[in-house]
Structure 1
Amino acid sequence: MGPARIGYRLGIAPSTVHRVLTRYRVPRLAELDRATGRPIRARRYEHDAPGDLVHVDIKKLGNIPDGGGHKVLGRERGKRDRKRGVGYSYLHNAVDDHSRLAYTEVLPDERRETAVAFWTRAQAYSAAAGITVSRVLTDNGSCYRSHSWRDLLRNNDIVHKRTRPYRPQTNGKVERFNRTLLDEWAYARPYQREQDRRADLPRWLHHYNHHRGHTALRGHPPASRVPNLSGQNS
């Protein structure tokens, strides 16, 4: 977390948090590539209105065996259970560039048919919130290069943009959401089985969209930038 979110949690001024972090020489989050720790100089941008650009991505996630993974059973036994093969799930994520409003589904694969069906539901979710999507940004995965994906977006008057090869930071907002999703939902609790973790996703996603303070939004949740989103006060 950065100063704004820490301050929001503790009820103190972000400037005070910033001074403490500076005293201990903690780098700014925006200055580092979190995977390598190397300094970066990426320019932050933000589109003017919800729907101007939606970032879409897929994150592969190992399933939890019945009885729990290594957080419940210990690392060695967890590794043995993993070798027995409990399979993987795929988190299909869509994040609005302006509001950071997120829509997520846990799906069995990353095939083109699955990606197309996911976007159909994600777009319907956006429309229900009063958001008209005009552009979508994805990586160069095969499902996003398919004719089915191209035709779906074209038929809905949506421009498809792709990230530059080997430059995942171009899709940085959804990449950052992926990390938050893993840290605060997927690996946040010692779930006893995969079904328990999946059942907890709607609750966490509601919290993220409606209540969780976002650094880029000055401590406000994504819903604060989407006036027509249902459940604002719940």
Structure 2
Amino acid sequence: MKSYLRSVGIGAALGSVLAMWLFPVWQAWVFAFQTLITGFFAVGAAYLTVRQMQVTDKAAQLRHDELLTSAKQNEKEARERHNELVELTIRKDRLVVERLLVPSLTNLHINRQTDRLLVLPQVEDVDHQALQPFAERAQRCIDSIRSITNITIQPAWNDAAHLMDGFTSFHLREMVSCAHTTVELCGRIQTYPVSPLIDEDDDLMMLHTFRHQEAMKGKSMGALQEMVERYNFNAARIAYELNCLISGLEKLRKQYGLEV
């Protein structure tokens, strides 16, 4: 339609020019109204120019809107893909944390309630009969501490190590290190007391006495008391590190919305 109108306009303009040479009346009329005609064509040209500009602007705006809509759609799709990847990652991490906390967190809570302090009986020497139950108590303390470290060496702890924050990882390392040192010290305390010498009227009495004296060499209640104090200090430190570790694990549990 626009091409047809353009052709008609061009034809009319050429016809008008040719008619001026063929028809003198037409030429006189054009000369008389040439200002009006020129103004008419100027207004028409201005209208067509403005109209073309509007069409061009409308087309540009349409392209802009299409590009904007496409960009928003691409952004929405990218955001949805990102959210899906994040959800998959969180779901995987949640499973790792769940394997870490079940049943380790419950077992750690149980171990936290265990008393591991040693009380040295008021005796004069390391071969006193009252030290035998004390040595048995030391063995139970060793078993209790090892039960904690046995929890933390499970594969789930290594798998979830990257999900723990610095606070939890630090107290885990400190607790495990202190536990190894304390078990070694408690083992020395357990074997430090000497079995009492029982008076027996037999031919091996002299041999028993000799062995007893050899076992007593270099041992004293003062040295045993010092080891017990060091042990109790370390046991209190284990309790503190264990409390901090449990706090960090509880925070991790809440972070992933788990019920243990």
Alignment TM-score, normalising by the size of structure 2: 0.20
> Going by fraction, where is strand more abundant, 1 or 2?
1
Higher relative contact order (CA 8 A, sep 6+): 2
Answer with 1 or 2: which has the greater Rg. Answer: 2
> Going by fraction, where is helix more abundant, 1 or 2?
2
Alignment TM-score, normalising by the size of structure 1: 0.22
